[in-house]
């Protein structure tokens, strides 16, 4: 782990193992991030409490506690939590709802390496300013 890194732990919450694998492949491997996973909103909330990630990637459409509900719970636990919605539900009203609930940003599936790298750089700048 790089001592100067702002982001250390990343949590990925998605009920699809394929979606988690795709997202993991897009996260820069050379940064030494500690990656954690959960396969639905309920498990994701539990992992969030245990891990205290710097950033959480959260799917919306999940069977057990959807992403919106999980986001709401996470923000109640930590209003400064950085949550990036990574979803196939790209309806404008979903993006608006996520923003209203405090999501940092939303990226559409399937993510690309460039988009994920760019988002993580934005998160780093955001966290640097917040320190």
Site for other proteins contains 94 (CB under 8 A) = yes
Site for other proteins contains 93 (CB under 8 A) = yes
**Which residue in 2, 5, 21, 49 binds other proteins (CB under 8 A)?**
21
Cis bond upstream, residue 58 (ω within 30): no
Distance CA 121, CA 129 (A): 12
Distance CA 7, CA 98 (A): 22
Question: How near is the Cβ of 96 to other proteins at its closest, in Å?
Answer: 10
If the CB atoms of residues 31 and 126 are measured against other proteins, the closer one turns out to be: 31
Distance CA 95, CA 77 (A): 22
- Main-chain phi, psi angles of 127, to 5 degrees: -70, -35
Size of the site for other proteins (CB under 8 A): 24
Stretch that binds other proteins, among 31-39, 48-56, 72-80, 104-112 (CB under 8 A): 104-112
Kindly write down the DSSP assignment for every residue of 74-93, as one continuous string.
HHHH-TT--EEEEES---HH
**Which residue in 3, 4, 18, 30 binds other proteins (CB under 8 A)?**
18
Site for other proteins contains 28 (CB under 8 A) = no
Instruction: Give the residues lining the site for other proteins (CB under 8 A).
Output: 15-19, 21-22, 25-26, 60-63, 87-94, 108-110
């Amino acid at each position: 782990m790089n001592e100067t890194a702002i982001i250390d732990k990343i949590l990925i919450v998605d009920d699809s193992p394929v979606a988690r694998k795709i997202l993991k492949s897009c996260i820069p491997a050379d940064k030494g991030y500690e990656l954690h996973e959960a396969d639905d909103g309920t498990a994701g909330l539990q992992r969030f409490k245990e891990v205290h990630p710097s950033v959480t990637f959260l799917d919306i459409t999940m069977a057990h506690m959807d992403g919106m509900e999980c986001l709401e719970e996470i923000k109640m636990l930590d209003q400064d939590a950085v949550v990036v919605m990574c979803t196939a539900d790209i309806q404008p009203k979903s993006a608006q709802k996520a923003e209203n609930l405090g999501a940092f940003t939303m990226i559409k599936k399937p993510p690309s390496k460039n988009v994920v790298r760019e988002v993580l750089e934005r998160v780093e700048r955001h966290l640097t300013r917040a320190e």
